[in-house]
Amino acid sequence: MKGFAELDAVIAVARRGSFRAAAVDLDMSTTALSHAVARLEGRLGVRLFNRTTRSVAPTEAGRALVASAAPALEALREAMEAAREQASAPSGVLRINSAPGAARQMLDPLVLEFLRRHPQMHVDIVTEGRLVDIVAEGFDLGVRAADFVPAEMIATPLGRPLRHAVVASPSFLAGRTPPRIPQDLLGHPCIRVRLPNGALYRWAFEKAGESLALEVQGPLTVDEAGLARRAALAGVGFGYVHEFEAAEEIAAGRLVRVLEDWTPPLPGLRLYHPGRRNPSAGLRAFLALAREMARAAGAS
């Protein structure tokens, strides 16, 4: 009852319609509660409740005060709690919903570095291809490519811009003429990827102001880019994957990249979250680290 005792008393009486029940809620005596209400009425110079032996009802002035004061007090308490959190180390659980490939990209360095800096935090990552409502499903953050971030969310750049890579295994390319332009892919088997909304992903290309999107054909359709990379490694056909996903295989020669000049950088990943008035200390710390790393990487 510190700080807001008299307003708390008025709000509790108005909510319960009884001094006795309000006193129980506030863990104080009925006499002390009555005195608190009377003191506020005296300072305001207006009666806040009409009292009879059987009932208590707020006056018009009392209703107006409660309608304004109750949300204001809640906001003040949230602000004070947020200030207290800043004075202590972040702790608790941070829940993140992410596309599978995005989760692999941010795990190291962002998530692991966050846990090193804040050992009292626990990060719970759920990966899925479909785009979910992170608020309705209880997540603190979402991670998706920039184009998939809901318009009402606050977005923070994560890492460098993305590039796609068209790749195939050396065994698949043996005896084949590598494509020189994107349209050449229409004569080759390709590994198709299905989007969360059920549509087939059209392979996007751009060069010297010319852009196009191809609906390729092939023997295999998957719903996750990591599966497309594995199928390309197995010689099924050309795959269209994120550059970072295939970097090790390309460097080691297990995959060969083609049409590199047709895959310019695209906007990168985004962390996104709703505009909560007082985010937790853990969420603030995670976003601060993400921004720090984005600045270091020159993300946009």
Mean pLDDT of all residues in 54-66: 89
Output the pTM of the full model. 0.55
Q: Which of 200, 181, 183, 184 is nearest to 192 (CA)?
A: 200
What mean pLDDT comes out for the span 234-253? 93
Contact call for residues 37 and 6 (beta carbons, < 8 A): yes
164-262: same fold as 5-86? no
CATH 3.40.50.300 fits 164-262, yes or no: no
- Give the confidence band of 2 by pLDDT, cuts at 50, 70, 90: very low
Question: CATH assignment of 92-160+267-297, given 3.40.190.80, 3.40.190.10, 3.90.1300.10, 3.40.50.2300?
Answer: 3.40.190.10
List the structure tokens of 78: 């949230």
Q: How confident is the model at residue 52, as a pLDDT?
A: 82
Q: What is the pLDDT of residues 112-136, one digit of tens each?
A: 999 999 999 999 999 987 788 998 8
Question: Where are the extended beta strands (E) located within the chain?
Answer: 49-51, 56-58, 92-98, 121-127, 141-145, 154-158, 164-168, 191-193, 203-207, 210-214, 220-222, 239-242, 256-258, 269-273
Domain borders along the chain are: 5-86, 92-160+267-297, 164-262
Here the tokens at position 249 are 């295989």
Rg, C-alpha atoms of the chain: 29
> Strands 269-273 and 154-158, how do they pair?
antiparallel
Strand partners, 269: 145, 158
Number of H helices, E strands in the chain: 10, 14
Yes or no: domain 5-86 corresponds to CATH 3.30.2130.10: no
Nearest to 95 by CA among 286, 297, 299: 286
What's the angle, vertex CA 125, arms to CA 122 and CA 126, rounded to 5?
145
* pLDDT tens figures, 67-103: 988 888 888 877 776 666 665 678 899 999 998 878 8
Band the pLDDT of 145: cuts 50, 70, 90.
Answer: confident
pLDDT > 60? residue 1: no
